[in-house]
Amino acid sequence: KQIVLLPGDGIGREIMESAKAVLEAIAKKYNHEFTFEKHAIGGDAIDQHGIPLPEETVQACQNADAILLGAVGGPKWDTVSPNIRPEKGLLGIRKALGLFANLRPILGFKALLHASPLKQEIIEGSDILIIRELTGGLYFGEPRERRDNGNSAVDTLLYTREEIERIVEKGFESARIRNKHLTSVDKANVLESSRLWREIVEEKAKEYPDVQVEHLLVDAAAMKLITSPSQFDVIVTENLFGDILSDEASVLTGSLGMLPSASVRTDGVGLYEPVHGSAPDIAGKGIANPLGIILSAALMLRHSFGLDEEAKEIESAVNACLEEGYHTADLAIKNGHQVGTIEMTNAVLEYLK
Amino acid sequence: KQIVLLPGDGIGREIMESAKAVLEAIAKKYNHEFTFEKHAIGGDAIDQHGIPLPEETVQACQNADAILLGAVGGPKWDTVSPNIRPEKGLLGIRKALGLFANLRPILGFKALLHASPLKQEIIEGSDILIIRELTGGLYFGEPRERRDNGNSAVDTLLYTREEIERIVEKGFESARIRNKHLTSVDKANVLESSRLWREIVEEKAKEYPDVQVEHLLVDAAAMKLITSPSQFDVIVTENLFGDILSDEASVLTGSLGMLPSASVRTDGVGLYEPVHGSAPDIAGKGIANPLGIILSAALMLRHSFGLDEEAKEIESAVNACLEEGYHTADLAIKNGHQVGTIEMTNAVLEYLK
Ligand SMILES: CC(C)[C@H](C(=O)O)[C@@H](O)C(=O)O
Ligand SMILES: CC(C)[C@H](C(=O)O)[C@@H](O)C(=O)O
């Protein structure tokens, strides 16, 4: 299996080494062959090539079976022109590879749940999978421009039936292998695109009689995530609503630094990255939490390579380390041992032996 | 002062009587003259006139100094055509009167804070004013239509400089009389309209050197509202982001049924309504919480009539009732007395004597 590594910016560079070591350990143990190729993206690519997504990076990703990304962005590139900002690299690679489904599992670790901003009884038992459409909607619709000599600005929210169908199918398929409940989030009382979305969900629902479907307006969903997170199973929604709701959900468990994400398409190729950002303030200090990217690597094994056992092994190893009390500076565990990036990685590797 | 009452649907009809009684008590005590006129909106108007916003309602509102609304919508009208749904009444009246600024104060009552889904130490001290742009953006931009024989759908996010300037000014003015901190929320890393928004905020900031300005991406704002709500003062944002974030924020204090809102324009005319909905499941049972609309009436006195003392008197009366232990079924107070809509209203009136 050909894996492209895109460390990107800030702590992305340090934690990528951790993920690579874990994947190598798994390859050795289970006799798989993974080859790795490193390429530039984001600010790193701007520094080296003047643009956030060089053609050679796109090429390499197009030939890969899966891609692992660290993080992009940082204040260093805040002043570059909007067209070549680091984030454009991320948006560009999603679009270039057609990675239309962003999977964001929200699942707390027992040892860390005490750090949730929510009361224990509210967050307990929550296990949510947010599926966000990633290559359509306001992010890519045209026209997107200034008008009237720059005195007005327009963006376009456009969805085609095909775009909605494939993401909604992903939602139903995912619900089917989880707890058979799908919440479709839209703003059908205001948006035409949401009304098309809702119609398609209703149509598809007939093909999945075993899955219970609920429609929720995005404003109501933003409330319910806080008041009753444990009542969700799978949530499927369009690009911008998914951006907002998945970030909202990511703080509920109290350990954002642990959360992985996957951006996939139908043939299994996918890009995997931790939810946390490039954290420029702590970059290079050796204290970054590598568990988010390690768990992203586990998602890669599961979703792109079909290696569910190996994925579970990594997840158990991470859980075991936390139960032992190992944690990085961003997490707190009572009577635990605070460690740096390398020690945390070694602790995980120890469990994989 | 000419006040138009729009009870609307569900519990809107019952709680409107409470607000009217409170306004009458204030008028008597302070020697003001308020005249009331009742009109139909939402499902109520659909039933009576076939449309959710009859011309006579618009006319009456146009002649009024302020408008008080109960709530609109309910399952009864779920099957009417999208163009005449109850919500269209609300969207229509906002647009017809040019009520471009939606004010959503988020402030918990001490007696109720224990019901917050957030841990006490996180919600404590929070006092947020969300200012949402209400007559532009995706809600009204054209084109909004089906294309390709109905196989794609488009909505348009359009903002003009004038629309952004007036709401941003409202944000700065509000911050100036509060804690001098303004958070402008956008998605400037993706949307052209957000980049125009951010430019205008930067320009206006020069006119308000006493106000500290921060830009926050909408996804980050959705996170920070949960992790650090007490770090916000005034938030200003566009229509849809404001819809999502203000509903998210409305559950933080644990007593959604208490929250008021105002939709105003520059000359002081405004529409006031509780944040809660029409609650068709409990309509007609006499158990609805009237405090949200009573506090909305207080906002009306303050923002439309400049009667700050009278507004404060209502707010203190409500607080005193809660401290006494009075609460409706949607709230919980330890060792309190659960009462119905009329008793709760009478308790408030008692304090106003
Ligand atoms: C960096 C930004 C463009 C991106 C997005 O909004 O999609 C990020 O917030 C994400 O969710 O991956
Ligand atoms: C009913 C609906 C159209 C409305 C909105 O989205 O503006 C509501 O959610 C609100 O916030 O007042």
For Cα atoms B95, B100, B103, give the angle at the middle one, nearest 5 degrees. Answer: 125
Is residue B264 included in any domain, yes or no? yes
B237, B174 in Cβ contact below 8 A?
no
Whether residues A27 and A126 share a domain: the answer is no
Please give the residue of chain B at the shortest CA–CA distance from A84: B189
- The annotation places the binding site of B for NAD(+) at 74-87, 277-289
Nearest CA to CA, how far is A179 from chain B (Å)? 24
Whether residues A68 and A129 share a domain: the answer is no
**Distance of alpha carbon B144 from alpha carbon A158, whole angstroms:** 10
Which of B9, B41, B91, B296 for a ligand 2 pocket mutation test, highest count of atoms within 8 Å of Cβ? B91
pLDDT class of B78 with cuts at 50, 70, 90: confident
User: Does A219 sit in the ligand 2 pocket, CB within 6 Å?
Assistant: yes
Q: Which pLDDT value is given to residue A347?
A: 98
List the one residue out of A218, A211, A278, A289 whose CA is nearest residue A8: A278
Is residue B110 included in any domain, yes or no? no
User: Does A190 sit in the ligand 2 pocket, CB within 6 Å?
Assistant: yes
Please give the residue of chain B at the shortest CA–CA distance from A121: B117
Of B228, B252, B276, which closes a domain? B252
pLDDT at B76 over 90: yes
Whether residues B341 and B215 share a domain: the answer is no
CA nearest ligand 2 atom 2, residue: B87
Of A192, A219, A252, which closes a domain? A252
| Type of residue found at B179 | N
- The annotation places the binding site of B for Mg(2+) at 219, 243, 247
User: Does B324 sit in the ligand 2 pocket, CB within 6 Å?
Assistant: no
Partners of A153 in the β-ladder: A146, B159
Whether residues A88 and A127 share a domain: the answer is no
Please give the residue of chain A at the shortest CA–CA distance from B152: A160
List the one residue out of B265, B246, B141, B127 whose CA is nearest residue B185: B246
Is residue B36 included in any domain, yes or no? yes
Task: Identify whether A143 is preceded by a cis peptide bond (ω within 30 of 0).
Answer: yes
User: Does B192 sit in the ligand 1 pocket, CB within 6 Å?
Assistant: no
Q: Which pLDDT value is given to residue A81?
A: 87
Whether residues B135 and B76 share a domain: the answer is no
Instruction: Please state the separation of Cα A202 from the chain's center in Å.
Output: 27
What is the residue range of A193's domain? 117-136+164-252
Whether residues A332 and A247 share a domain: the answer is no
| Type of residue found at B234 | V
Query: Which domain CATH number covers A126?
Result: 3.40.50
Nearest CA to CA, how far is A348 from chain B (Å)? 29
Nearest CA to CA, how far is A255 from chain B (Å)? 11
**Distance of alpha carbon A156 from alpha carbon B157, whole angstroms:** 6
Average pLDDT over residues B285-298: 98
- The annotation places the binding site of B at 74-87, 94, 104, 132, 219, 243, 247, 277-289
Whether residues B162 and B200 share a domain: the answer is yes
Which of B77, B83, B85, B87 for a ligand 2 pocket mutation test, highest count of atoms within 8 Å of Cβ? B87
- Nearest CB among A192, A220, A248 relative to B144 is that of A192
Whether residues A192 and A282 share a domain: the answer is no
**Distance of alpha carbon A114 from alpha carbon A334, whole angstroms:** 10
Chain A contact probe: residue of B132, B156, B252 with most A CBs at under 10 A = B156
pLDDT at B83 over 90: no
Q: What percent of chain B has pLDDT over 70?
A: 100
Of A252, A275, A299, which closes a domain? A252
Whether residues A97 and A130 share a domain: the answer is no
| Structure tokens that stand for B192 in this block | 């052209």
Average pLDDT over residues B259-283: 96
Asked if A139 is an active-site residue, the reply is yes
| Tens-place pLDDT, residues B295-311 | 999 999 999 999 999 99
DSSP state string for B282-351: GTTTT----HHHHHHHHHHHHHTT--HHHHHHHHHHHHHHHHHTEE-TTS--TT-EE--HHHHHHHHHHH
pTM for this entry: 0.96
- Average pLDDT score, chain B: 96
Structural domain count, chain A = 2
Please give the residue of chain A at the shortest CA–CA distance from B146: A192
Query: Which domain CATH number covers B83?
Result: 3.40.718.10
Is residue A142 included in any domain, yes or no? no
Whether residues B149 and B235 share a domain: the answer is yes
Is residue A154 included in any domain, yes or no? no
Is residue B108 included in any domain, yes or no? no
- Nearest CB among A138, A144, A219 relative to B247 is that of A219
Nearest-ligand number for the alpha carbon of B95: 2
**Distance of alpha carbon B129 from alpha carbon B106, whole angstroms:** 6
Whether residues A245 and A306 share a domain: the answer is no
CA distances from A225 to A109, A181, A216, A236 (A): 18, 15, 11, 14
CA nearest ligand 1 atom 1, residue: A87
Is residue B112 included in any domain, yes or no? no
What are the pLDDT tens digits along chain A (353 aa)? 999 999 999 999 999 999 999 999 999 999 999 999 999 999 999 999 999 999 999 999 999 999 999 999 999 998 888 889 999 999 999 999 999 999 999 998 999 999 999 999 999 999 999 999 999 999 999 999 999 999 999 999 999 999 999 999 999 999 999 999 999 999 999 999 999 999 999 999 999 999 999 999 999 999 999 999 999 999 999 999 999 999 999 999 999 999 999 999 999 999 999 999 999 999 999 999 999 999 999 999 999 999 999 999 999 999 999 999 999 999 989 899 999 999 999 999 999 98
Q: Which pLDDT value is given to residue B82?
A: 80
Is residue A86 included in any domain, yes or no? yes
Nearest CA to CA, how far is A305 from chain B (Å)? 31
| Tens-place pLDDT, residues B20-37 | 999 999 999 999 999 999
Question: Residues B242, B244, B247, B250: what is their CA dihedral angle, to the nearest 10 degrees?
Answer: -70
CA nearest ligand 2 atom 4, residue: B87
| Structure tokens that stand for B328 in this block | 């409706």
| Tens-place pLDDT, residues B115-130 | 999 999 999 999 999 9
Whether residues A274 and A310 share a domain: the answer is yes
User: Does B248 sit in the ligand 2 pocket, CB within 6 Å?
Assistant: no
